[in-house]
Amino acid sequence: MKRQLNLSFVILLAITMLLSACGAETETSTTAINIPAVSIGQATESNETYPVGGAESTYPAGSVATEAPNTYPAEGTGQMSETEIEELLKEKLDGHHTLEWVLSFDKTYEEWEELLSDHHGVTFTPEEKDQVIQYLMSH
């Protein structure tokens, strides 16, 4: 009797595992937002045109935004001060070298660009790299 119960349990477990393996798959996908390219005053799907000056009465709730948020582009479009560049360099050097040691080299723009391109995993944005190279060449 005990043997039949164990066998039944094993068969039931095997069937359960088989059914769960054959069950519906869940898709994991990233959320994508498709924004249609629309010119001002042009509709997306018909030949209608939207009123160009109609934003005051429609969005957001009867008012027009007066200034854009500072979140886009993420960072790096402005000129950094020398202090900011020095702090960035110290952060990227992470104690491996001193700023004075780096400043002791006399390199061309191309040589600095090659050296700063993913040097031991240290990366810069294109804007940061350009400003850092200009700083290094002037000091």
**Higher local confidence (pLDDT), 94 or 42:** 94
Q: Can you give the pLDDT at residue 76?
A: 47
Mean pLDDT of the chain: 74
For the stretch 116-126, pLDDT in tens is 887 777 888 88
Q: Which residue has the tokens 């519906």?
A: 24
| Per-domain residue ranges of the chain | 82-138
Most confident of 17-31, 40-54, 111-125: 111-125
Mean pLDDT (whole number) for 24-31: 60
Q: Please name which of 74, 120, 113 lies closest in space to residue 94, comparing C-alpha atoms.
A: 120
Under the phi-then-psi rule, with left for phi > 0, alpha for psi from -120 to 50, and beta for the rest, what region is 120?
left
Q: Can you give the pLDDT at residue 99?
A: 86
Residue pair 117/126 in contact (Cβ under 8 Å)? The answer is: no
The dihedrals phi and psi of 122, each to the nearest 5 degrees, come to -85, 125
Return the exposure string of 71-90: e unless at least 16 CB atoms fall within 10 Å of the residue's CB, then b.
eeeeeeeeebeeeebbebbe
Q: Which residues pair with 122 in a beta bridge?
A: 119
Query: DSSP 3-state assignment of 107?
Result: coil
Query: DSSP 3-state assignment of 119?
Result: strand
**Higher local confidence (pLDDT), 87 or 35:** 87
Tokens of 28: 């994991």
User: Is the full-model pTM beyond 0.85?
Assistant: no
CB atoms within 10 A of CB 57: 11
Q: Can you give the pLDDT at residue 46?
A: 55
Residue pair 31/22 in contact (Cβ under 8 Å)? The answer is: no
